[in-house]
Amino acid sequence: MNQVIYRYRFGPRVSLRRVERWLHLAVVAAAGVHGATAVQMDACFGLDRRRRACVVGAQTKVGRDIARILTSFLHHEFKTGTFEVAAVDPPSGCMSKENGT
């Protein structure tokens, strides 16, 4: 199984409160496509305010869709260069939604 995790990093002028709202909206959108149960069982995401970073696990179709939706929202909301997203190895950690947000 592919163990890709996407890490988003945000510049100092990006509102993390807005990022958190977009993350939750991306999760809601994924639930609309896949169902709430699939999101509950298959989604892995979290926001680390101290590091100004967010992670989304892309090991499942649900996770990949959350990452795609979130990236689209962020591109729409913030200027180019205010955030970056990259695939990282799993040891960087994907927090469960209960612990991460």
Are the beta carbons of 83 and 14 closer than 8 angstroms?
A: yes
Q: Is the pLDDT reported for residue 17 higher than 50? A: yes
The count of domains in the chain is 1
CATH number at 29 reads 3.30.70
Q: The whole model's pTM is what?
A: 0.86
Average pLDDT over residues 13-32: 97
Spatial separation of the C-alpha atoms in residues 80 and 84, rounded to whole Å: 9
Cβ(20)–Cβ(47) below 8 Å: yes
Closest residue by Cα to residue 87 from 3, 24, 1, 20: 3
- The pLDDT of residue 100 is 43
- Whether 101 is covered by a domain: the verdict is no
- Domain, as residue range, for 45: 5-94
Does any domain span residue 19?
yes
pLDDT at 5: 95
Give the type of residue at 78: F
Q: What does the radius of gyration of the chain's CA atoms come to, in whole angstroms?
A: 12
Instruction: Specify the residue for token string 């959108």.
Output: 29
